[in-house]
Amino acid sequence: MLSHALMALSLTAFAGDDTAETPSISIPFEEYDLDNGMHVILSEDHSVPFVQVNIWYRVGAKDEIDGRSGFAHLFEHLMFQGSQHMDGEYFGPLQRIGAMINGTTNMDRTNYFEGVPSEQLPLALWIEADRMGFLLPALTQEKLDNQKLVVRNERRQSYENRPYGMTWWWLFENLYPQGHPYHIPTIGKHEDIDAASLEDVKAFFTQWYLPNNASLSISGDFDPAEAKALTEKYFGSLAAGPQPSPILDIAPTVLTEEKVIRKTDDVPHHKVWLAWHSPAVYKTGDADLDTLSSILTAGKDSRLYRALVEETQLAQDVEAYQVSMLLGSFYVIEATASEGKNPDDVVAAIDKVIADLKAEGVTEEEVGLAKTNWEASFYRRMRTISSKANQLNQYHVQTGNTDFIATDLARFMSVSPQGISAALKHLGEGRIQLHIGPQATTEAK
């Protein structure tokens, strides 16, 4: 064991007390490393007779090479198609015992998880270990061809054939230049997925899906001694490989001017998205922009909702949010134009609100309310064992500090009007302005 820590549980609400330096919140956990380098986090919670097994691999879409986009997401599918000692579809055996099982992939990481009745912890750990150590012997050309078709169909359903589905594709490819790790969204290109050979995907698996590139989090109703013994039994014998090098840093992309993109599609309304580059997750300004989002669009008294929907009726809806990512984030304001309203007028109205905020700042009352709402949301997210298992993995992998939760909440509770004014500087002239409108409306113009 290379590291070991035990934390006491404390979930004392911060309740908007601006005088406290650090919120009193923690998740009890114990952590250590297996000899093969796999990190293990154990967090007991006996509130329900259930246990969550959550594993993060340090590989996401950002780590793919040119011509091989979509591989991390493709493996999200292949990892459920069977391994050497359980060569069959994974969902059936777990769902029969009342389990919840799935996986997710984003730009920065790949995640697999199972929630099972407490007595089924051995099965959940064995399945995860078998596909980590023995996926390739069961990976056939037939399975690969089948999942390539599934992924390409998913892209059609989620992107090409869905109203406004291409929004994120167009935003990513215009925010980040060719060759940037974030240029191509997680789903990947059709031609890259179609061209993927069995040798290609085996090489990708061999490079990234290693115990020394993984973090395992177990949360819920379990006995620590049993969990340690099972983890050692199933994962301890898996061989480490050459340490992968995921992309952890890159020169920031800077937009110096506005780029306006106008698209038409089979959509019912004209929508507009404004997107600016912003600080990476956990960096200075990240929490401030999240808080700004509440001030702008959370509730009928928020700045943008009041200006665009209530007062001028230029828009049917408006939303602001920070898309926080590891190498750099982006900030988005999106709105749906009201029937008969010019979307360019919607943009002008948004710009006026932002200009007023830059000139006058936000009020202490606005910031206080936003912080209270954020704190309540933060605590709600930590109420389930699944959320805690995943959050502990995220903190460990992305910050190096599994016990980051109090620091994380403190980022938001320390936001001030001055901090938001500083963060507003990121919403400058360099941005993407994306319009998507109905084809008939555009043709009529």
Residues acting as catalytic residues: 76
User: Among the residues of 79-166, which ranges form H helices?
Assistant: 91-95, 121-134, 141-155
> What whole-number distance in Å separates Cα of residue 264 and Cα of residue 327?
31
Q: What's the N-to-C CA distance of the chain in angstroms?
A: 68
> What whole-number distance in Å separates Cα of residue 63 and Cα of residue 41?
25
* Beta pairing class for 431-438 and 5-6: unpaired
The half-sphere exposure of 158 on its side-chain side, counting CA atoms within 13 A, is: 12
> What whole-number distance in Å separates Cα of residue 114 and Cα of residue 94?
8
The half-sphere exposure of 2 on its side-chain side, counting CA atoms within 13 A, is: 10
Q: Residue 230, class by beta-carbon neighbours within 10 Å (0-12 exposed, 13-18 middle, 19+ buried)?
A: buried
Residues constituting the chain: 445
> What whole-number distance in Å separates Cα of residue 318 and Cα of residue 304?
7
Q: Tell me phi and psi for residue 301, to 5 degrees.
A: -95, 0
Angle value at C-alpha 306, between 304 and 309, nearest 5 degrees: 90
The full DSSP string for 292-360 is HHHHHHSSTTSHHIIIIIIIS--EEEEEEEEE--SS-EEEEEEEEEPTT--HHHHHHHHHHHHHHHHHH
Instruction: Quickly count: other Cβ atoms within 10 Å of residue 279's Cβ.
Output: 20
Of 135, 147, 150, the residue nearest 87 (C-alpha): 135
